[in-house]
Amino acid sequence: MKNRLKHLIDHISNFKTRWPHLSIWLLLLSMLPINSYAEDDHVFLITGSRSNISSISKHDLRRIYLGGTAINIPEPTNPIINKIDISTYRLFLKNIMHMTENGYKRKVVKRVFRQGSDKIIEIKNLNELDNHFKEHPNDICFISSKHSSQMLNIKIIKTLW
């Protein structure tokens, strides 16, 4: 214990000789990109207009988008990845899933092959997304406000940001 304390004190007292290295690390860290939220456009969580789903917790939302099952939703529901607007998709991953695009993809792929979870459907076209909700009213998706106003078969559950 005494030796460990001495070692720690030595380590701290060597700071003078270490500070150039520390400065380089701090400089590198400060250069890392810091993403900010896009405040000019709201993003909503939506479901089909015929769905009985009226609310969904953030925790359930994360579970569903990671290939798991929701706890507090009585209806079986599937998540849809909205790739109509890639920047909204990336912000969803950052703000809600707290992951990068690559990190998220790998996590979902891992789950599909490890636990036999369903693949998550990706939709890149607004009409296709609208039609999807006609046929699968209990599914959920995130969408920007500018796109949501053009859809007929959906209802908004909550504002995500």
Partner 1 sequence: MPSNHITRFLLFSSILCQSASLYAEVQISGFASFIAGKVINGSEFLADYPKTGIYDKDLSFSPDTSIGVQLTSDITEDFSLTLQLVNNGADEYQTKSTWAYLNYQYSPQISIQAGRKRLPLYYYSDTFDLGYAYHWIRPPADNYTWQIAHYNGISIIFEPRTTSVDSLFNLYFGREDSSNNELLGMFAGAPVNETWKNIAGFVGEFSKDWFEIRLTYMRSLLDREINNTQTDHNVRQHFQGVSINLYYDHLSFLSEFNAYERPQADIRVVTNMQSIGYTLKRITPHITRSELKQSQNSNGGDEHHSTNSFGIRWDYRDNIAIKIQYDKTIDKGINIPIRGNSELISFGADIIF
Residues lying near partner 1 in the complex (CB under 8 A) are found at 32-35, 59, 62-63, 66, 68-71, 76, 98-100, 102-103, 105-106, 109-110, 112-116, 118-119
Beta carbon nearer to partner 1, 109 or 123: 109
Beta carbon nearer to partner 1, 42 or 94: 94
**Which residues are within 8 A (CB) of 21 and not within 5 positions of it... i.e. 6 or more apart?**
none
To partner 1, the closest distance from the beta carbon of 155 in angstroms equals 23
Instruction: Give the burial string for 121-134 (b: 16+ CB within 10 Å, else e).
Output: eebeebeebbebbe
To partner 1, the closest distance from the beta carbon of 82 in angstroms equals 15
Q: Which tokens go with 121?
A: 């459907």
To partner 1, the closest distance from the beta carbon of 37 in angstroms equals 14
Beta carbon nearer to partner 1, 96 or 157: 96
Beta strands across the sheet bearing 79-82:
121-123, 79-82, 140-144, 43-48, 154-159
CA gyration radius, the chain? 22
Q: Is 143 helix (H, G, I), strand (E, B) or coil?
A: strand
To partner 1, the closest distance from the beta carbon of 106 in angstroms equals 5
Beta carbon nearer to partner 1, 26 or 112: 112
Beta carbon nearer to partner 1, 120 or 143: 120
Q: With beta carbons less than 8 A apart as the criterion, state whether 52 and 137 touch.
A: no
To partner 1, the closest distance from the beta carbon of 17 in angstroms equals 25
